[in-house]
Every structure is written in C-alpha cells, then in structure tokens.
C-alpha cells in the first residue's frame, strides 16, 4: 500500500529511484512522484503508473544525488496529480513521501489552517509536513528535532521519508506500522518499503523498527528512537536474488508465479520433511512443541487469499491433529472483543507480512497473552518480527498482485504444521505419516502435471470469457479452493464470481443458475465425491454449464459435465494444492482475453498496510 524509495550517495538518484518505483509498483499504482535535490528541491508527480511519470519527465534533465520517489494507493484524496506524493511544506523547503495513514490529520489540519497554512492537496501526508514546518517555525528547532516532535504527536501508521532544500545530504526516514528497509552501501544509502529496489546495489540491509527515525547522510547513518535515544542498527544479509524480480520470459508475473509452484512448494518443504522416517521438522516452532502438544484451541487470523489458506489449514489441523481451529478475518477479529487467553495459539497467515488488519489482530492476541505464530513469505517483514515463532513459506518474491504461489506455499506450511502437531500429540500413526509424507513429497511433480492442462484451460476460458457471473463449488477442503478460485477470477478479470460449499447452493444461490451461468465444480474422487455428483446434477437440471475439476481418468463426471479439467490423482489432504492450479490458470487466461492488466488489477495493491 504505497511504495517508497530514497537514495543518498554519489550516484545520480533518478535512475535508482525510478527503477525502485517500478519494483514497488505492486504496492499501488494510482500515481507516482519523485523529489530530487541538486541546487534546488524539485518535485515531479503524475496520476497514473510509474511509466506515466517517466513519460512526463522524459525531456527534463533529472539531476541530483539525493532523491526519493513514491507510488501511491489512494486513501485520503482521489488519485490525481495534486494528491500525488511527494508533498511539500508551505515554504516549499521540505518534502515528504508517506506510506500509511495519519489518523489525527483532521485535527492537526484544523489547527494549521487556523494558523494560516494553505494546503494544495486533500491528503493526510501534506498535513504532516506542514506540521513539521510549523514546529520548526514555532520553536526554532532543527529539522531532526522537529520531525521527532511531530511524530510523537501523530496517531496512525507511517513509513515516511523527508528531504529538505537546506540539507543537501540528508534523508530522514521513520516508521511506525508500515515497513521500511535501509540498504547500506559504501558512501551511499538506500531506503525503501521492501528490499527489491535495493538488492542490485547492496545485500546489507537494516529493517527499521517501529518508532525509529533514521538520519541518513551519504557517509553516516544515525538511528534514534522516537524518544531520542540512539539505537544500534542490526545489519542483515539479504537472501533475495535479482533474477527473482524479473519476468523470466513469461508475459506476466502472475503466469510466471503460477508456473513456479512446483519449485516453490518444493522449497517450502525442503529440509522439513523426512518421508522415510515419517518425520516433520519445523525449526521455527520447535521451541513451542510442548505448547502444541497441550493446546486446546488454535485461532487462525488472515485476510483474502491467506484467509482461504487458513480454511484449508482448519480442515487439516482438525482432521489430523484433532485440535479445534477457528479461522477469522483479521479485520473482524480485532473489533469484536474476542475471547482469547494465554492457553490459545494464534497463527497469522500473510504473504507480505505487512497486512495492517492481520498485524492489529496479532497485537491484540499478544496483549491478551496468547502465543502467536506467523506463516509469512517475506523474510524480516513486520509480522514475523512480532510473533513468538513461525514458519516461513519460502515461495520467493510474489510480484503479481493476485496471490498464487504464496497460497500453495501457505497451504503446504499448514499441512506441515498439521502433521507436526499430529505427530507430537500422537493423533496420527507413524505408518500413516510415512504414507502421507511420501505423497506430499511428490506434490511438486503432480503440480507440474496439473499445469499441463493449460491449453485445455485456454479453450475453456475463451468459451466463458464474456460471462458476467460465475459460481465455484467445492466440499470439504475443496470449499476454500472454490473460494480462492472465485477470488482469483473476480479480482483480475472483473467477472463477478462467488465460491460456495456445493451443498449450500440449494439454500439460495441455485436461484441464479440458468443457461448463462458457468459453474466450476471441484469434483475429485474423494470423500464427498457422490454428493458433489448430486450437486452437479442439480446445476445441470437448471441449464447451468459445468466446468468440472476431476481426478484423471474419471469418465462419470465427464459424461455429465460440459467441460472437464483433469488433475492427477492424489490423497485427500493434498487436493487443495493440486486443484488450485487449474483455477489460477482459468482466472489468468480469462483476464488476459478480456484485456485486463492481470499483474496490476484495478483498485488493488499487493501489500495492504492500511486498515
């Protein structure tokens, strides 16, 4: 949700900042802007994508070795040139970029307006930089102190970078609730919302903590907390490789990420399962094994696709570890005074590790004494740093806004947690564990095979690309897969789609079925197979078109369905990992055929750092 990048050093800042903005564009693409300081402070900004900003400045000499840039996902103020960041103080000397929300901006703005401040935008961010200016004017303090005092009075979340026309060698960066990484070079520093704009220049990074302010000069870095105490920075080595951030010959990141799943699932299991020994090893949560043995309840909190993964986790953990599981929308959980105690284990699932609602839910659970685990993809993100323990998904950077490989990696980790807990609690036999882990080990090959249905899926997509609605049905752990299939289709193709438990259809949604309604049914040969067949008949009897996801070689469903997509046979616990693949491809091809921007669907952002 908004990407920010900054540079101070000996090179030209513009190429670094603009490239960084392209990398961060997944975080928002309502507008983009840049501030550069050479002899004077110059701001260039434009509604639209980063490429629109590039065209806007193409004939301008973009000089300056101090610079910062912003790509916006609009919250306060419509997407427009005037609401684009960077924003400036009234005297035009200070400039700011911001990711987050200043919640008390209205009160601050009122006070500033009464003092004669004039605002050029509708944003909360502009209020903050005027507030800093106002403190400087009132107190005569230097910029560093004025920023610190302003941040002490701000309510809300922020990652900000500030530049001053009077300080040609200084970037001030601060965070609270929104991510910020500092890249440490030789005679140069970088700041960004994540490490992707930094990785090609340096692998040494510092993750700024909440309530820290960094004063960054080309040869000096000073980090203080908001109370003005100096902090000792902890420099980490990045694991990220530059190639992971490229499309690698695919037309879109989303397609690349769909095809990466055999590898990402494999990476997620590597070193964690020992099929022959029937052993699961999860180093990240090992210390909490006793807790898992005696746990009475697990609560999973997440949003969107990650919430769907949580639902799959519920089936698996309850089935194998026999622990009651509740899966909650993080945004609802935190606002309804939930009953949580130190006996509970709360697991947050988040690809980005930055989702504001999920973080807030975790903070609440932590306050109430629960043990908290994270299942996250981005190493070093805020959620993993907040949790007591966790298991990374290791899917690699996911850049397409619609989540694909992160979902299957999350489901893989939850499968491992289910088996690990079952093993510790003695709710699964050793021989069953050997059998399941052996099959789990083969899932990457089965996913590879499922991807071979691509051409068939292209045909089906071309048949239904003009539909206005679509239903997705599944039972058991295929129900969350249906939800995920519907979410993928709606978010990237803008076709209205709903996921339902197949048996629920007759309690309402069946009224929607007519000859214009495609119905995607996950009908693999597992425990609810016969029941799903009855649901298929119910749809057929009302003229609906069935697209069935079936187990390889199933001729019974083939005889009933209008279209079938075969997936390789697998044991029931692993169906979500394989059945999700054709649904991702169906959404992808449908969206491409409808001319949609699949990697950057409208109104969305990859990392939702506002509540």
Tokens of 41: 């402070």
Q: Residue count at the site for ligand F6R (CB under 6 A)?
A: 14
Tell me the C-alpha distance between 8 and 592, whole Å.
40
Helices within 405-507 (DSSP H only): 405-425, 430-441, 443-450, 454-464, 478-493
Tell me the C-alpha distance between 540 and 529, whole Å.
16
Q: How far is the CB of 8 from ligand F6R (least distance, A)?
A: 30
Task: Based on the shown chain and the rule CB under 6 A, indicate whether residue 304 belongs to the binding site for ligand F6R.
Answer: yes
Query: Which segment (152-160, 169-177, 300-308, 551-559) binds ligand F6R by CB under 6 A?
Result: 300-308
Instruction: Give yes or no for a contact between 486 and 518, defined as CB atoms under 8 angstroms apart.
Output: no
Q: How far is the CB of 179 from ligand F6R (least distance, A)?
A: 11
Tokens of 575: 């169906």
Q: How far is the CB of 353 from ligand F6R (least distance, A)?
A: 7
Tell me the C-alpha distance between 149 and 588, whole Å.
48
Residues involved in catalysis: 2, 606
**Residue 464-503 contact track with ligand F6R, rule CB under 6 A, x = bound:** -----------------------x---x------------
Helices then strands (H, E): number in the chain? Answer: 20, 27
Q: How far is CA 445 from CA 236, 486, 498, 582, in A?
A: 34, 25, 30, 15
Residues 6+ apart with CB under 8 A from 368: 340, 341, 342
Q: How far is the CB of 68 from ligand F6R (least distance, A)?
A: 24
Could you give the angle at the alpha carbon of 599 between the alpha carbons of 376 and 304, nearest 5°? Answer: 40
Closest residue by Cα to residue 2 from 611, 608, 417: 608
Q: How far is the CB of 300 from ligand F6R (least distance, A)?
A: 12
Tell me the C-alpha distance between 389 and 513, whole Å.
46
Site for ligand F6R in 518-537 (CB under 6 A): none
Site for ligand F6R (CB under 6 A): which residue of 99, 121, 144, 306? 306
358 versus 493: smaller Cβ distance to ligand F6R: 358
329 versus 529: smaller Cβ distance to ligand F6R: 329
Tell me the C-alpha distance between 250 and 528, whole Å.
37
Task: Based on the shown chain and the rule CB under 6 A, indicate whether residue 565 belongs to the binding site for ligand F6R.
Answer: no
Site for ligand F6R in 339-398 (CB under 6 A): 350-352, 355, 358
Task: Based on the shown chain and the rule CB under 6 A, indicate whether residue 580 belongs to the binding site for ligand F6R.
Answer: no
18 versus 487: smaller Cβ distance to ligand F6R: 487
Residue nearest to ligand F6R (CB): 304
Tokens of 403: 């989540």
Query: Which segment (133-141, 222-230, 297-305, 469-477) binds ligand F6R by CB under 6 A?
Result: 297-305
Query: Which segment (66-74, 106-114, 191-199, 304-312) binds ligand F6R by CB under 6 A?
Result: 304-312
117 versus 405: smaller Cβ distance to ligand F6R: 405
Task: Based on the shown chain and the rule CB under 6 A, indicate whether residue 178 belongs to the binding site for ligand F6R.
Answer: no
Site for ligand F6R (CB under 6 A): which residue of 71, 393, 403, 524? 403
375 versus 578: smaller Cβ distance to ligand F6R: 375
Q: How far is CA 146 from CA 135, 151, 163, 487, in A?
A: 6, 9, 13, 45
- Residues engaged in binding ligand F6R (CB under 6 A): 303-306, 350-352, 355, 358, 402-403, 487, 491, 608
């Amino acid at each position: 949700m908004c990407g920010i990048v900054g540079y101070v050093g000996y090179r030209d800042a513009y190429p670094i900042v603009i490239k960084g903005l392209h990398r961060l564009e997944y975080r928002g693409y309502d507008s983009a802007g840049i501030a550069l300081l050479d002899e004077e402070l110059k701001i260039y900004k434009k509604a639209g994508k980063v490429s629109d900003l590039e065209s806007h400045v193409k004939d301008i000499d973009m000089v300056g070795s101090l610079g910062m840039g912003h790509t916006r996902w609009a919250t306060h103020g419509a997407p427009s040139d005037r609401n684009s960041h960077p924003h400036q103080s009234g005297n035009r000397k200070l400039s700011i970029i911001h990711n987050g929300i200043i919640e008390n901006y209205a009160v601050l703005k009122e006070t500033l307006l009464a003092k004669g401040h004039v605002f050029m935008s509708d944003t909360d961010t502009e209020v903050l930089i005027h507030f800093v200016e106002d403190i400087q004017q009132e107190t005569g303090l230097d910029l560093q102190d004025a920023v610190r005092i302003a941040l002490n009075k701000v309510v809300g979340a922020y990652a900000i970078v500030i530049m001053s026309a009077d300080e040609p060698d200084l970037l001030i960066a601060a965070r609270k609730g929104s991510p910020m990484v500092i890249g440490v070079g030789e005679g140069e520093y970088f700041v960004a919302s994540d490490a992707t704009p930094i990785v090609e220049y340096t692998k040494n990074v510092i993750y700024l903590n909440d309530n820290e302010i960094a004063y960054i000069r080309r040869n000096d870095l000073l980090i203080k907390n908001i109370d003005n105490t100096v902090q000792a920075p902890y420099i980490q080595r990045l694991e990220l490789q530059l190639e992971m951030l490229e499309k690698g010959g695919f037309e879109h990141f989303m397609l690349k990420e769909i095809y990466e799943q055999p590898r990402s699932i494999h990476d997620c299991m590597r070193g964690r399962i020992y099929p022959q020994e029937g052993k699961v090893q999860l180093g990240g949560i090992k210390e909490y094994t006793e807790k898992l043995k005696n746990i009475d309840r697990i609560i999973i909190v997440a949003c969107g696709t990650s919430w769907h993964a949580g639902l799959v986790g519920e089936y698996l953990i309850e089935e194998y570890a026999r622990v009651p599981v509740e899966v909650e929308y993080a945004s609802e959980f935190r606002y309804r005074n939930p009953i949580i105690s130190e006996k509970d284990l709360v697991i947050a699932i988040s690809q980005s590790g930055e989702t504001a609602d999920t973080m807030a839910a975790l903070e609440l659970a932590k306050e109430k004494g629960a043990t908290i685990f994270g299942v996250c993809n981005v190493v070093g993100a805020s959620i993993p740093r907040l949790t007591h323990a966790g298991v990374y998904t290791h899917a690699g950077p996911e850049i397409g806004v619609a989540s694909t490989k992160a979902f299957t990696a999350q489901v893989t980790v939850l499968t491992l947690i289910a088996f690990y807990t079952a093993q510790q609690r003695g709710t699964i036999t050793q021989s069953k564990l050997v059998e399941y882990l052996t099959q789990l080990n083969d899932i990457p090959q089965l996913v590879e095979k499922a991807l071979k249905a691509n051409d068939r899926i292209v045909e089906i997509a071309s048949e239904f690309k003009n539909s206005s609605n679509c239903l997705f049905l599944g039972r058991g752990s295929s129900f969350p897969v249906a939800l995920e299939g519907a979410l993928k289709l709606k978010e990237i193709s803008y076709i209205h789609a709903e996921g339902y438990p197949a048996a629920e259809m007759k309690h309402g949604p069946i009224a929607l079925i007519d000859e214009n309604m495609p119905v995607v049914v996950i009908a693999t040969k597992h425990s609810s197979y016969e029941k799903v067949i009855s649901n298929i008949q119910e749809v057929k009897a009302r003229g609906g078109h069935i697209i069935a996801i079936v187990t390889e070689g199933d001729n019974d469903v083939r005889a009933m369905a209008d279209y079938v997509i075969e997936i390789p046979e697998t044991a029931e616990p692993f169906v979500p990992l394989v059945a999700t693949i054709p649904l991702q491809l169906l959404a992808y091809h449908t969206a491409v055929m409808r001319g949609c921007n699949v990697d950057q669907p409208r109104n969305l952002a990859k990392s939702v750092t506002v509540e």
